[in-house]
Chain A
């Protein structure tokens, strides 16, 4: 059989960090999966060295558009540790509220993308509509839908008023109600189960060996969650479960994320109920004394790690960032081994590498024949849905059912 190489990218705006994938196929089976990263390297670590700590909060917040609060919190935790600052409890609670709201918006976004990639567009539309509830809440308490700018060295910049707390609780009730439907769909809808089960297998041992993080690891029954293992902010005072699953596949990753949504609603209610009184910030020095520290943070996609070294001035000596997708990319190669091309979109999407809805291009090249053609990501997506439809997996009925459920609820 001819070997066919499909390069995807390098300009691959489907991903938050443009990546270049090289897929070697025999027939429809993936023999080899190669990647080239770095197309979106913006030199942020170098740029941090030339900016003050305050400026760097805003810079690190812009590392990622989805987990913006994750990066700024992770950075600031390291800085506060070096400076020996005792951040007020109320500030830690507010940081945690924003952190969990961010996780909710990120997981709902993922659920929609996953639905879209398998042709279940009703799920995509409903979960993105519901995501607006949490986006509005973030805008109410921080002033922004993304890049919240809530953190500052030694605390947070805005307080949460009792009226805002009421609004957040109202939003949590709506979303919890919705998420129950999604959990029902994910666990009972045969089409979803059939389409996602056994796809993108990552065994427990491989997840550990390859250093997978976040929901990707937890769906392979790896009980790793920085919020529990190395509690930061207010997590040490919260009662919540680490959701794991033993399916080891995309289906398991869906169960984990839906389960985590339910935990986040629970956490936000606890945080608002027990929100301590007091100041929201302590005075922080402009110059941070020499020293070094590591910040760890469970971002929606997995563990985020920042290393900060201070030299006694108002600018850091060194800032190092390890984002979760970097830790998960090796696991993707493993998941794709011997799988079908039709499963590639959902397997890549299942680690949640931040898809955007821009145009994407894939060039197809027949290695031996030398023939070339192009395939838009959209075509690959359509191809994947058609391939499964021809084999009996079609979401028409599921779409109708979900619509009926949502309509019936109103």
Chain B
């Protein structure tokens, strides 16, 4: 059974830029901050070399100043590696991982709808999870979005 520290060391050994950027919260919970331009290398290494064969989900976060995405990956031995990337607050965008995890499709669509992140390479498909008539540019999980804001058409009562 490998420990979180071993995974951390393997990551830092492969990617010098991850020095000081990997944190072992406790056994089975590892967090890494990856620069956006190197994200795919770290992601592929975790998937192919370190046995993180499951993508649990992708969490979008809107921190003050930056937007972020966290890729939660799990391995057969119960380790969870969460890779965080920071995105530009204005026009955030990232590349799709659906080429290797087809199930990421819905997780990426959540980023599109709820955070307004542009996902490059996302296959064509129905939007998720907001309704088809949801107004453009309204992304509910952004911190500056408040429920009850104007923008959504009032429903016309039946005559």
Residue in chain A with minimal CB distance to B60: A320
Cα(A211)–Cα(B140), bound, Å: 27
Interface residue B28 (Cβ < 8 Å from any Cβ of A): yes
- Flag if B106 contacts A318 (CB, 8 Å): no
B residues near A320, Cβ cutoff 8 Å: 57, 59-60
Interface residue B85 (Cβ < 8 Å from any Cβ of A): no
Cα(A329)–Cα(B109), bound, Å: 14
Render B23-60 as a binary contact track against A, CB cut-off 8 A, 1 for contact: 00110110100000000000000000000011111011
Interface residue B61 (Cβ < 8 Å from any Cβ of A): yes
How near does chain B come to A313, taking the closest CB pair, in angstroms? 14
- Flag if B80 contacts A296 (CB, 8 Å): yes
Interface residue A405 (Cβ < 8 Å from any Cβ of B): no
- Flag if A230 contacts B147 (CB, 8 Å): no
How near does chain B come to A209, taking the closest CB pair, in angstroms? 7
Cα(A35)–Cα(B125), bound, Å: 9
| A297-355 CB contacts (< 8 Å) to partner B | 303, 305, 307, 309, 318, 320, 322, 326-327, 329-330
Of A296, A303, A320, A327, chain B has the most CB atoms within 10 Å of the CB of A320
Given contacts A210-B103, A294-B72, A329-B106, contact A230 B78 (CB under 8 A): yes
Interface residue B126 (Cβ < 8 Å from any Cβ of A): yes
- Flag if A307 contacts B59 (CB, 8 Å): yes
How near does chain A come to B53, taking the closest CB pair, in angstroms? 6
B residues near A37, Cβ cutoff 8 Å: 106, 126, 128-129
- Flag if B140 contacts A330 (CB, 8 Å): no
Segment among A38-46, A115-123, A270-278, A379-387 that sits at the interface with chain B: A38-46
A residues lining the B interface (CB < 8 Å): 34-39, 41, 43, 45-46, 81, 208-211, 223-224, 226, 228-231, 292-294, 296, 303, 305, 307, 309, 318, 320, 322, 326-327, 329-330
